[in-house]
Amino acid sequence: MELDIKEEIAFKPKKITYLVSLLTFMIGLMGVFSLFLMFILIILPNLRVIAFQFGGYLLLIGLISLYVSKLIYSLFKPITFSINSRRIMLNSLFNYSIEVSLERILHVEKQKFGIRWFKLNYYVLFSTDKKYNLYFNLLSNNHELEKTLMLLEKNIENFYVKNAYYKNTFLNSMLRIISTSQGKIGGGIILIYTLMAIIGGIAYVVSPPDVSGYKTWILFNPEYVLYFLPQFSDAGVLDSPNQNFWFGTDYVGRDIFSRMIYGTTITMSIAMLGAMLVTFFIAIIGLSSALYGGTWDAFIMRLADVLLTFPQVVWIILISVFSTPLRIGIPGGYFLAVYIGMSFVMWPFGARLVRSEVMEAMGTDYISAIKLVGASRWWILKNHVLPKVMPTIFLLFFYQLSDIIIGISLLGYLGFDSESTLVWGSDLAKAFLAENIQDEWWTVLFPSLFIFGIVFGLTLFSDSLRDIYASRFRGSKRGTLYSAIKGDEK
């Protein structure tokens, strides 16, 4: 589609938008500083008394400031808008440019934003991949822009598009995932747990709990009985959450907050290694079974049938018993040994899924045609099969990560690893041994919340990932004009 425009038309922002952007930046900086200050107060044990009093205010100020700055910037950010007979160009303040071909514009719609005494008229450009909001009231020559956009709407030819195109990059996929509500919540939870795991890992390296005093870097020693220290003797055993111990103390007087942070480090590290190993087996077995077929394929499928007849819990307990002599001399080494063994029996379901994806790709007429012209099996795998299968493998990684975290918590709860208690399940099991569990609720609540939180976050994130990739490869409504106009407005 071409417009009858002889020269490129440029629409520059008004000068006030630059001033508003500077104000927005300062508000956002204040929000970041408030959250950073709250984080420092939380992680430093000596300042937790101050954090207990003012942490809520800092969190509220930080979140409100970030939200307000984001809202104002989205409305008033300086954008230079230019249009010619073939494309539309958007240039932002930081020289980030977006070029949209007119052939990909599906619909142009005029909308209003604001309340009764303050309203902004703006145009929404719906393309095959996303929508663009253009607040033309903030441009210097907005009347000419409005006339041009209305002309663009009249000249749109391909209003209905059956298959939308999405650029096949990892960054673009991640941006699309976090643009959904599920992706934002799940990704945020995963990010919080990752930061806690990093803090616990640094604390362990700087001052290991087995050789340190009552403090390890910025945390309390998770194995130290703080009741014996004069400054904490009033806390006692099974003390409820307070200014010094945010999550309270356990049945022997240890800080539960520090134990949860260390437990996050151990659980996340072992789960990541185990999930990568299991996913590697899934990919290799599924790909080889589909590509080579014949006897190898039949053997793999029958072996998968045998392994699937036993519940995963049975395999975990069996391998846990036989993994006892294989303990590795690192924190959580017992669990790592267990899931190295579990990787040999956790692949059947995922491998079958990958095998079906590969066989579906290999059965297309296009693959048959390039085979006839001499394309090698490796070339077909690299250029045509793996790009289609990788999203499924990536999704299976997150499913395995969630399963392994639950498995580690289960083993800790059952008491299989008596040498290491820094896992959530172990603390949860000891909490349930208390006589008055209703009065000592914090010993059960926080380990349970940590287990639930990471599994919930991984589930939301993987579901969002599944929806995004399903739309790209299986033709769901998200890749059509209907979703571009209706779905993205939620």
Does this model's pTM top 0.75? My answer is no
pLDDT for 244 equals 78
Nearest by Cα to 74 from 130, 113, 129: 113
Fold classification of 9-154 is PH-domain like (2.30.29)
pLDDT for 445 equals 92
Q: Rounded to whole angstroms, how far apart are CA atoms 420 and 417?
A: 6
* DSSP class of 239: P
Which sequence spans correspond to the domains of the chain? 9-154, 186-474
pLDDT for 99 equals 74
Q: Which CATH class is domain 186-474?
A: mainly alpha
Q: Rounded to whole angstroms, how far apart are CA atoms 347 and 96?
A: 44
Q: Rounded to whole angstroms, how far apart are CA atoms 266 and 249?
A: 20
Distance of CA 190 to the CA centre of its chain: 5
Residue 63's identity, in one-letter code, is: L
- Helix runs in 240-332, H state only: 256-292, 294-308, 312-322
Neighbours of 311 (CB within 10 A): 9
Whether residue 404 contacts residue 339, with contact meaning beta carbons closer than 8 Å, is answered with yes
pLDDT for 300 equals 93
Q: What are the average pLDDT values for consecutive 10-residue runs of the chain, which has 490 residues?
A: 56 73 88 86 72 77 87 71 72 65 70 62 68 60 66 55 39 66 88 91 80 73 74 72 84 87 90 91 92 90 90 82 62 76 88 90 82 80 83 89 90 72 84 79 92 93 79 39 34
9-154 shares its CATH topology with 186-474: no
pLDDT for 401 equals 92
pLDDT for 162 equals 33
Whether residue 229 contacts residue 214, with contact meaning beta carbons closer than 8 Å, is answered with yes
Q: Rounded to whole angstroms, how far apart are CA atoms 248 and 239?
A: 5
pLDDT for 344 equals 86
Whether residue 306 contacts residue 314, with contact meaning beta carbons closer than 8 Å, is answered with no
Cα dist. 366→163, 286, 289, 372, 375 in Å?
18, 21, 21, 10, 11
